[in-house]
Amino acid sequence: MTEFYWILGSGILMSAIALVGSITLVLSRETLDRLLLPLVAVAAGSLIGGAFFHMLPAAVRQAGDSPAIWIATIAGFASFFLLEQLLHWHHCHRADAECRQPVTYLILIGDGIHNLIGGMAVASTFLLDIRLGITAWVAAALHEIPQELGDFGVLLHGGWDQRSALLMNVLSGLTF
């Protein structure tokens, strides 16, 4: 039963990391505008870095240098590109429409899936050993802080106001 409380507590704490964007609520608009592009760069760097420097090499080690790995990578990029184009067409084809950039919805979907899988991984680690679970949680939390801050920057840059971006980022974080 103690594992359940560790899992629940770690999930709540991890979801709270999505509140890291709330620091922007105290910044002036001018300062926030100067920080937006670097925040977008952090988001792009953490996603691309995670994929190309961690996940793909691990997949190649596990499965060998199979063309399926590279086909799946290209299919993932192509799927998100097509989904972005579809969202853009669907939501922004009227000239008078207030339009949030489609990439912001993709960030929320991708982050929600990422948090769900990460939550399952950390929870399963707690079931193996509490100390190992704590270690896995700390490693995941250190990864989440810049990633959530970058995601928040993408939402702001994509047309969301600060409060809506923070709320959606927290809701996405709750999937952990």
119, with CB counted inside 10 A (0-12, 13-18, 19+), is: buried
The residue with greater pLDDT, 40 or 10, is 10
Q: pLDDT value at position 123?
A: 95
Can you tell me the mean pLDDT for 135-159? 87
For helices 130-157 and 2-16, angle between their N-to-C axes, nearest 10 degrees: 20
Q: Are 149 and 42 in contact (CB under 8 A)?
A: yes
> Structure tokens of 133?
């679970």
Q: What is the pTM of this model?
A: 0.70
Per-residue model confidence as pLDDT tens digits over 29-38: 888 888 887 8
Residue 20 binned pLDDT confidence (cut-offs 50, 70, 90): confident
Alpha-carbon distances, residue 128 vs 15, 84, 115, 136 (angstroms): 22, 39, 20, 11
Cα 51 to Cα 73: distance, rounded to the nearest angstrom = 9
Q: pLDDT value at position 33?
A: 82
Cα 105 to Cα 83: distance, rounded to the nearest angstrom = 10
Residue 4 binned pLDDT confidence (cut-offs 50, 70, 90): very high
Quick one: residue 94, left, alpha or beta (phi over 0 = left, psi -120 to 50 = alpha)? Answer: beta
Per-residue model confidence as pLDDT tens digits over 91-146: 665 545 566 777 788 889 988 998 999 999 999 999 999 999 999 999 999 888 88
Q: pLDDT value at position 171?
A: 92
Cα 145 to Cα 155: distance, rounded to the nearest angstrom = 16
Cα 22 to Cα 152: distance, rounded to the nearest angstrom = 9
Cα 126 to Cα 173: distance, rounded to the nearest angstrom = 19
